[in-house]
Amino acid sequence: MGSEEKQGIIFVVLAYVFWGFMPIYWKLLEHVSSDEILSGRVIWSFIFTFMLVIVGRNLNQLRLDLKDLWANQKSFWGLFLASYLVSGNWFTYIYAVNAGYIVQTSLGYYINPLLSILLGIVFLKERLSRAQQFSVLLAAVGVIILTVSYGGIPWIAFTLAITFALYGLIKKSIKIDALRGLTIETFFVLPVALVYFIYLVVSDKAVFFNTDAPTAILLIFTGVATAVPLILFAKGTKTMPLYMSGFFQYIAPTLMLLVGIFLYDEAFSKIEFLSFSCIWLALILFTVSKIMQVRKVQVHK
């Protein structure tokens, strides 16, 4: 394993650890409404990423990216749609954490990779081995058990999984630098975020201008909290095998689950344990079969 690959692994693990502990950050802002946090998050994310583009002397490249996107209308509107999908994902996530549904957010991010697999089969004509087919079925059983035990659909988990899986599918077809891509995505949502934030200020509902310094600082740093793990992840995945980054992605929902249970005393019944066990087994089975598949291909090269 080369030094670049080792560095890539460190970056990716750091990104997932960052995401795993993110509920603690949003909990510090639970006295602020989810819609204000989201509008601020978009605004500050754009400011932070745009500043990084300027510091990195990539402003001209950003213009070229926009020009290339506009020349390819499918990519332009694809990224436009992706930006609103990820914004919807952010809103659902912030709302869920502050409403006491961290365990359900964890479920959403466990379901997400399996949903991505199904989207890959439907839209990208990808094929699964027998073991992988069984793992998807096992995960579906886990979700059905949880749905029946809830007495209703765990809509938070499904919304998070569906929006992020669709976001990933669209992004897969658009080749663009991670930082500049994130800058453009936040730029697409910026007008809506600004208009809504102005409405909150005018109607005297905005907390930002009427709060203590720590809350204001935390709201400003939502941009950093959004961009840093995304940039680490993008840098790391460039120098490591895809199956390995796929394996590491379970760090975040596992940490979220532990944070929800042990730090915020969220309920985790035997039925939920049974359901999560099916999903954990499915993910282990899928990942192991994927690693074996990749190694078999490498041996035959």
Local confidence band at 92 (pLDDT 50, 70, 90 cut-offs): very high
SS (HEC) of the chain: CCHHHHHHHHHHHHHHHHHHHHHHHHHCCCCCCHHHHHHHHHHHHHHHHHHHHHHCCCHHHHHHHHHHHHHCHHHHHHHHHHHHHHHHHHHHHHHHHHCCCHHHHHHHHHHHHHHHHHHHHHHCCCCCCHHHHHHHHHHHHHHHHHHHHHCCCCHHHHHHHHHHHHHHHHHHCCCCCHHHHHHHHHHHHHHHHHHHHHHHHHCCCCCHHHCCHHHHHHHHCHHHHHHHHHHHHHHHHCCCCHHHHHHHCCHHHHHHHHHHHHHCCCCCCHHHHHHHHHHHHHHHHHHHHHHHHHHHHHHCC
Model confidence at 243, in pLDDT bands (50, 70, 90)?
low
- Structure-block tokens of residue 237: 């995945």
Average pLDDT of the chain is 86
pLDDT at 1: 59
pLDDT for the residue 240 = 67
The token pair that represents 161 in the structure block: 């999984």
* pLDDT classification of 62: cutoffs 50, 70, 90: very high
How much of the chain, in percent, has pLDDT values that exceed 90?
Answer: 41
pLDDT at 267: 82
pLDDT at 150: 72
Neighbours of 55 (CB within 10 A): 9
- CA atoms of 53 and 46, how far apart (whole Å): 10
The pTM of the full predicted model, rounded to 2 decimals, is: 0.83
Q: How confident is the model at residue 21 (pLDDT cuts 50, 70, 90)?
A: very high
- Better-predicted residue by pLDDT, 282 or 93: 93
Q: Could you tell me what percent of the chain has a pLDDT over 70?
A: 94
Arithmetic mean of pLDDT, 195-217: 92
CB contact at 8 A, 106 and 22 = no
CA 17 centroid distance within chain: 13
Q: Over the Cα atoms of the chain, what is R_g? A: 20
Instruction: Report residue 6's pLDDT band, with 50, 70 and 90 as the boundaries.
Output: confident
Domain borders along the chain are: 3-299
Q: What's the pLDDT tens digit per position in 101-152? A: 998 898 888 888 778 777 777 776 767 778 878 888 888 888 888 777 777 7
pLDDT tens for 174-194 read: 878 878 988 999 999 999 999
Q: How many residues does the chain have?
A: 301
